[in-house]
Amino acid sequence: AAALVAVAISPNVCNVLFFTSQSAEIGQRAALEKIQEIATANGLPIDNIPALSMGLRMGEGTAALLAVPILRSSANVLSDMATIQDILS
């Protein structure tokens, strides 16, 4: 809900949104669809598919806390992983 309010106030917020978990709640799906609609109307790219699907219903950011280590690991793989050239030299 907070993401939808932020996007409604300033559509450019879409540039920094990352959805962490697919909730079992119907309201989340409706909010994601509305955010996608606002982003599209303003020509902004957005991936409204959540990264994880854990069936959480708590709503207090648990999925965000669980996703942070995964995101950090992914970023490290992309930026710090050795290439075959690095290994052979």
Q: pLDDT of 62-85, one tens digit each?
A: 777 888 888 889 889 889 888 888
Locate 2 and state its tokens.
């907070």
Low-confidence ranges of the chain (pLDDT < 70): 56-60
Q: How many domains does the chain have?
A: 1
Active-site entry in 25, 33, 37, 60: 60
Locate 16 and state its tokens.
């920094």
Cα angle, residue 53 at apex, residues 47 and 14 outer, rounded to 5° = 25
Question: Mean of the per-residue pLDDT values for the chain?
Answer: 85
CA distance 12 to 37: 13
What pLDDT is recorded for position 63?
Answer: 78
Q: The domain containing residue 75 runs over which residues?
A: 2-88
Q: Is 25 a catalytic residue?
A: no
Positive or negative torsion for Cα 9, 72, 24, 43: positive
- Residue type at position 20: T
CA distance 43 to 66: 31
Tell me the whole-structure pTM to 2 decimals.
Answer: 0.67
